[in-house]
Amino acid sequence: MFLRNYWYVAASDFEIGRKPMRRLILGEPIVFFRTEDGTPVAFEDRCAHRHLPLSMGKLVGDTLQCHYHGLRYDTTGTCVRVPGQDMIPPSARVKTYPVVQRYHWVWIWMGDPALADPAKITDYHWLDDPNWGAKPQYLHVKANWQLIVDNLLDLTHLAFVHETTIGNSALVEHASVKVQRKEDNVVVTRWIIDQPAPPTFVKVGGFTSNVDRWQIIDFTPPAFLRLDVGATPTGTGAPEGRRVGGISMRNLNAITPETESTCHYFWGQAHDFDIHNRETTDKITDQIRTAFLEDVAVFEAQQVNLELIPNPPQTDINADTGVIQARRITDRLHQEEQAAAAAQRVAAE
């Protein structure tokens, strides 16, 4: 199941250049390249003539030339040259996608192009904000995208999957959790008061005594999870909004479905301390990557089971509240999209 009328992260900005790049998004093969002035462009990655991926071709100026018979397409996806003939068949065109570069990522609109408003791009400014340090990352995951959404909305797993990095038992056994839901948004707030800091926090924050730790998870559909996380020495006022003497980070996740069973996982860990120190950014990113690779092992193992036993019954526990509310929003939005698409088809007939 995919939601279509959304901006998704398609690539890191540096991945797209003058060499055409193929990537599957929502099951659609897409070729990305940049024009001579650096503007990113996205087409369906299939020549209108005999279906070869256009990503196997090459750029000639601002046109993309198919590797097979040399048809050339301009940036609007219109064929402008058929070798050996003067006339160009009107059907010789490929679908194009709206793309926008923002926050070191290239975003793609997968729905009705008429609705593609760049103002709807989810805010990830921490990735290129001079007041934060960050280094955007990518992981390819052989699992359904919603398994990652579930994972990030229930951080009790940190105590078990990530006990060597960002987790400890305090966040399950000594936490107060609140789930707020709005029409298209879920926020899960967890406070862990006067408990030991987990290993990563000790490493990067230098804590020597107990801390007050927060995790504020914001879910925005389809799969944007922005986590406000951090800790301060206990009793210094963080729960009341006074964050001093500790560390604050944004764990930023944007998951883009590749197929129903694989996805592109774009993420970054922004930090508000030692922001110009590349070593600090690297150290933090490495710690989180270690943890995320532990998650990927979980996702891929879940996926294997879910393919062997599709739609099995499952048990829900208290910690699933955020997960369930988010899935309910996603299901509703999917139904709305399906209904709108059906109405459009009827109107067209």
Partner 1 sequence: MTAWHRVASVSDVREGEAFPAELNGVAIALYRVDGEVHAVDDTCTHEFAQLSQGFIDDGTVECPLHAAQFDIATGKCLSGPASQDLRVYPVRVDGDDIFVGEPD
Long-range CB pairs of 277-283, under 8 A, 24+ apart, other chains included = 277/133, 280/133, 280/204, 281/133, 281/134, 281/135, 282/135, 283/203, 283/204
Nearer residue to partner 1 within complex by CB, 79 or 188? 188
Is 329 a binding residue for partner 1 by CB under 8 A? The answer is: no
Q: Work out which of 315, 347, 348, 349 binds partner 1, going by CB under 8 A.
A: 315
Binding track over 54-93 against partner 1, x by CB under 8 A:
----------------------------------------
Q: Per rule CB under 8 A, is residue 324 in the interface with partner 1? A: yes
Could you tell me the smallest distance in angstroms from the CB atom of residue 140 to partner 1? 32
Compute the least distance from the CB of residue 237 to partner 1, in Å: 21
The span from the CA of 99 to the CA of 25, in Å, is 13
Q: Is 311 in the site for partner 1 (CB under 8 A)?
A: no
Confirm or reject binding of residue 216 to partner 1 (CB under 8 A). Answer: no
Angle between helices 321-348 and 145-153 (to 10 degrees): 140
CB of 133 to partner 1, least distance (A): 35
Least spacing, CB of residue 317 vs partner 1, in Å: 8
* CB of 122 or CB of 321, closer to partner 1: 321
Q: Rounded to whole angstroms, what are the CA distances from 157 to 101, 169, 195?
A: 33, 10, 17
Residues binding partner 1: what is the number (CB under 8 A)? Answer: 11
Using alpha carbons, list the distances in angstroms from residue 181 to 49, 178, 188, 223, 291.
49, 10, 9, 16, 28
Could you give phi then psi for residue 50, rounded to 5 degrees? -130, 25
CB of 326 to partner 1, least distance (A): 12
Give me the helix-helix angle, 145-153 and 278-308, nearest 10°.
Answer: 120
HEC letters along 141-164: ECCCHHHHHHHHHCHHHHHHHCCC
Is 318 a binding residue for partner 1 by CB under 8 A? The answer is: yes
Strand-pairing partners, residue 181, are 186
Q: Please say which residue, 174 or 181, places its beta carbon nearer to partner 1.
A: 181
Least separation, in Å, of the C-beta of 294 and partner 1? Answer: 26
The amino acid at residue 260 is E
Q: Which is nearer to partner 1, 159 or 179 (CB)?
A: 179
Q: Give, as ranges, the residues between 173 and 202 that touch partner 1 (CB under 8 A).
A: 177, 179, 181
Degrees, nearest 5: CA angle 268-273-279 = 65
Work out how close the CB of 181 gets to partner 1 at its nearest, in angstroms, rounded to a whole number. 7
State which residue, 183 or 349, has the beta carbon closest to partner 1: 183
- Angle 218-219-222 from CA coordinates, rounded to 5°: 155
| Residue 173 or 282 with smaller CB distance to partner 1 | 173
* Strand order across the 247-259 sheet: 137-141, 262-271, 247-259, 224-233, 211-220, 185-195, 175-182
Binding residue for partner 1, selected from 321, 326, 330, 337, defined by CB under 8 A: 321
Residue 147: how many other CB atoms lie within 10 Å: 18
Shortest Å distance, C-beta 194 to partner 1? 20
The contact set with partner 1 (CB under 8 A) reads 177, 179, 181, 315-318, 320-321, 324-325
